[in-house]
Amino acid sequence: MQVHPGFELEYERRHNPIWPQLARTLSEHGVSNYSIFLHPQTRQLFGYAEIASEEQWAAIAETEVCREWWKYMAELMPSHADGSPVSAPLREVFHLA
């Protein structure tokens, strides 16, 4: 994902604190230890979340609070017509357990 130029601080502000109902939804869908990192020069975002299952993670996108969050954030970042943020999957190249 990425933040539009000049919206980096607003993006961070809107996450601190995150909406309680969104935090609750994430937790109820098996998400823990969730972080988002910002690369200052490219404004790229990298999200890291530990999840219980891919199915539960995908189901978050169908919740009302997630859809409202997407609308709330759409002006700050490239988004699809449905409001979801434009993102690209990353391939894991190393993991140490």
**Catalytic residue of the set 15, 29, 39, 95:** 15
Whether the CB-CB separation of 66 and 7 falls below 8 Å is answered with no
Q: Is 4 designated active site? A: no
Q: Which residues are catalytic?
A: 15
